[in-house]
A and B are shown apart, each in its own frame.
Chain A
Amino acid sequence: MQMYDLPDRGGHFGNYGGVFVAETLIEALDQLKAAYARYQKDPQFLDEFAYELKHYVGRPSPVYHARRWSGHFGGAQVYLKREDLNHTGAHKINNVIGQALLARRMGKQRVIAETGAGMHGVAAATIAARYGLECVVYMGVEDVKRQVQNVYRMKLLGASVVPVESGSKTLKDALNEAMRDWVTNVENTFYIIGTVAGPHPYPMMVRDFQSVIGREAREQMQEMTGRQPDAVVACVGGGSNAMGIFYPYISDEKVRLIGVEAAGRGLESGKHAATLCTGKPGVLHGNRTYLLQDDNGQIIETHSVSAGLDYPGVGPEHAWLKDSGRAEYVAVTDEDALQAFHDLCRLEGIIPALESAHALAYAAKMAPRMKQDQMLLINLSGRGDKDMQTVAELAGIKI
C-alpha cells in the first residue's frame, strides 16, 4: 500500500465520510476544520496534549502479555493494550482532551456531548471539570435508565445530563439532540463527538487524537517482542478505539486488522449491532457510511449487551477499510463476549468492559488456530466496572 493519506479535503474516505449536514451547521464545521488544521501542527498545542495524556490520563498505557490466557488457548500469544487503565477507565478520554483543548483555543466556554453507555459522557464531564467549562451531556432515556451510575458520575463532575425522549431514545437520538443543541448555540458551544463518526472533520480528528493508542502499541510491541503482531483486534461500535489502534498499522500490510462488531443475540435474530457485517451504505449523522436500515432507508434499532456498541452506524473510515479489504470485520454474540469477559477475569485478573470483551472473544476464536510464535494484539479499550450491574443481572444476581 502507498502512503495512506485519507480523508481528502472534503473529508471523504473513498465513497464514505463527507459533510452531510444542514446549511446551518456548515460554517461551524468550517471553523472547526480551520482551527484543527492550524493546531494539529502547532507545537504548543501538541505539547499540551502530550502533557495531559501523560500526567492526567496516565499514558502510555502498557501492553500486557496475557500469558495464562494465551496458555489456555495453546496457540497464538495474546497481548493486551491496556486502555482500561486510563483515567476514567477507557480510551474515550484521549479524544476528549484533544477536543477540549481545541474548544479552549476557539474560545468556546460550553461543551456538549452525546453518550450511550455513559463513558464518553463521563470523559467529557471530567475534562469540563478539569478546564472549568460548562458541560451538557445528551443521553437517551433508555440509556439513562440502564446506566444510573454513570449518570450520577457525570452529575458529580458538574455536568448536566439531558435525557433524550425522541426516536429510539438511545445513542443515535442523543447524537441527533446534541447536533440540534450545537446548531442553536454554535456561538459559544463546542460539540465533542465521542467517536470517529459525524461530519468531517470529526472522523479524522477523533482518529488522530486516538491514534496515540496505535503509535504507543507499535513501539511497545517492538520493544517487548522485537516485531509487530500478526493481527490487531479491536471492537467496533462507532469505531474510535479500533481506528486509534488500526491507524498507525494501515500502511503496514503484514499486520491484519480485525474489527469486531456486536452480533447481539445472533446475526440471524435481527437483534444485533453488526453494521459493517450486515448493513448497507447510507447517510446518517453527517457522513456516508454503512448503516443498519430497513428497505425504506429508516434507521433501525440495534441490540447489544454492551451499550457502547449499540449504534446503527459506524465511522466512515471503517467503511472504507472494509470495502478496500485492508481491514476485516466480524461479529461476536453477547454470549461469546460474556464468556471472554469471565475468562479474562478468572485467568488474568482483569475485568474488561463488555465492549472490549467482543474483541477478546474473537481473539479467543483465532488464537487456538494460530501457531505459538504468532501474536495477537487486542485493544482492551475499557474496564468493566461500569458493567457489574449488567453482568450480575444476566447471571440472575441482584447487587
Chain B
Amino acid sequence: MGVPVTGHRSLVTVFDMSRIASTFEALKKQGRKALIPFITAGDPAPEFTISLMHALVDGGADVIELGVPFSDPMADGPVIQRSSERALKHGVSLKGVIELVRKFRAANASTPVVLMGYANPIEAMGLERFAEAAKAAGVDGVLVVDYPPAEAEKMVGLLDARGIDTIFLLSPTTTNARLEEVTRLGRGYLYYVSLRGVTGASHINLADVAAGVGRVQRSSRLPVGVGFGIRDAATAQAVAAFADAVVVGSRLVQEVENAGPDELVERIKTVLSDIRRAMDQPREKTPA
C-alpha cells in the first residue's frame, strides 16, 4: 500500500507505510500542511458522495474524512446533525459508506480516506467484519468519536492487523497522563479538538490552540491535525502555521446544505480551493 515516494527510503519502507503516513511524509518534504476536509457520506444523497470526494481532491484535499451517519451524533453540532439526518433519510448505512469508498478508490488510488463516526453502527456490523470490509474497500483510517483509548484496544488491534490507522481525538482538557495513552494507541495522525464544544462551534482562540498543539507535538511523533471551529481560509491559514493538518468539516457541510444540486460539487471545490490557497501562502507571522 502507499504511493511510491522518491527519496532516500527503500521501496520496502515506502510500501510498508500507510497511505496516510506517506501523504504526510510527502507534504513534509514539500513544506506544506495537510488539508483534511470532512463531509458526511450520503449527504445530501448517496449519488453525490463520490463526485464530492473527487471535488475535494481537486480542491486540494490531502486526506478525506468521510462521516458515517448515525442517529445520535452526540459530539456534533446542528450542522453535522442535520447532514446525518439527510443521509439517514436515504437509508445510508455503514455498509453503504464502505461501498462508496470502494467506488471512490477504484478511481483514486492515492488520497487517504478516513471514516469518522460513532461506535454503534460499527458494533452492529461486528468489529472484525467491519475491519475486513474497510480493508477490502481501501479505507485508510478510522476515527470513532465515542471510543476513547480505554474502550478501543480491541478495534485498534483488528485495524492494525490490516494496516488501517486508528485516529484519536485530543482536547484542550486532555491531561498529560492520557495524552500518553492516546499517543500509544494513535496511528496516522492525532486530531486535536480546538475548543470545548461540539463540531461547528463559532470561534477558536488561536493562541490557546497553538499552545495545545505544541504540547501534543512534543509528546508524539505523529502529525497533529486541528479541527472543530475552523470556518474560513484565514483561520485555516493561521492554524496551518503551527499544526500539521487542518480539518474543515461543518463549514463544508453547511455549503452542502445550502447549495442546490446543480452547483453543489463545483461549490465545494471552490470553497476548499480558497482554503488550500490560503494555507499554502507563507504567513508573515505566527500567533503566540
Contact between B85 and A21, CB atoms less than 8 A apart: no
Partner of A26, one of B76, B88, B123, B178: B178
Q: Does B210 contact A (CB under 8 A)?
A: no
Shortest CB–CB separation between residue B198 and chain A, in angstroms?
5
A296 touches which of B82, B121, B197, B201 (Cβ 8 Å): B121
Q: Which residue of the partner chain, among B76, B123, B171, contacts A283 with CB atoms under 8 Å?
A: B123
Q: Which of A18, A22, A176, A297 contacts B94 (CB 8 A)?
A: A297
- Bound complex: CA of A286 vs CA of B175, how far in Å? 20
Report the minimal beta-carbon distance from B81 to chain A, rounded to whole angstroms: 5
Is the C-beta of A386 less than 8 angstroms from some C-beta in chain B?
no
Does B217 sit at the interface, judged by CB under 8 A? no
Tell me whether A132 is interfacial, beta carbon within 8 Å. no
Whether B71 is near chain A, meaning CB under 8 Å from some CB there, is yes
Q: What 4 pairs across the A-B complex have the smallest Cβ distances?
A: A297-B124, A297-B121, A27-B173, A296-B93
Stretch from A115-123, A179-187, A256-264, A333-341 at the B interface? A179-187
Q: How many residues of B contact A (CB 8 A)?
A: 44
* Residue pair B196, A24 in contact (C-beta under 8 Å): yes
List residues of A whose CB falls within 8 A of some B CB: 10, 18-24, 26-28, 30, 166-168, 172-173, 176, 179-180, 183-187, 280-286, 288, 291, 293, 295-299
Task: Name the B residues within 8 Å of A288 (CB-CB).
Answer: 123
The answer to whether A10 and B150 touch (CB under 8 A), given A27-B173, A282-B120, A283-B123, is yes
Known: A20-B147, A21-B75, A180-B76. 19 other contacts (CB 8 A): A19-B148, A22-B169, A22-B193, A26-B173, A26-B178, A27-B174, A27-B175, A30-B175, A168-B71, A180-B77, A180-B197, A184-B197, A184-B198, A184-B201, A280-B124, A285-B72, A297-B120, A297-B122, A298-B121
Known: A23-B168, A296-B93, A297-B121. A28 touches B72 (CB 8 A): no
CA of A34 to CA of B74, assembled, Å: 24
Q: Are A296 and B124 in contact (CB under 8 A)?
A: yes
Sample 17 A-B pairs with CB under 8 A, ordered by A number: A21-B74, A23-B148, A24-B169, A166-B78, A167-B72, A176-B74, A180-B198, A183-B75, A184-B198, A185-B196, A186-B196, A280-B124, A282-B119, A282-B124, A283-B123, A284-B120, A298-B121
Is B263 located at the chain interface by the 8 A CB criterion? no
Determine if A283 and B169 form an interchain contact, defined as CB atoms under 8 angstroms apart: no
On whether the beta carbons of A23 and B171 are closer than 8 Å, the reply is yes
With a CB–CB cut-off of 8 A, which chain B residues contact A299?
A: 71-72, 120
Considering only CB atoms, which chain A residue lies closest to B81 in the complex? A166
Given A293-B124, A297-B120, A23 and B170 contact (CB-CB distance below 8 Å): yes
Q: Name the distance in Å between A140's Cβ and chain B's nearest Cβ.
A: 12
A297 & B201 in contact (Cβ 8 Å cutoff): no
A residues less than 8 Å from B125 (CB atoms):
296-297
Q: Which of B77, B121, B171 contacts A24 (CB 8 A)?
A: B171
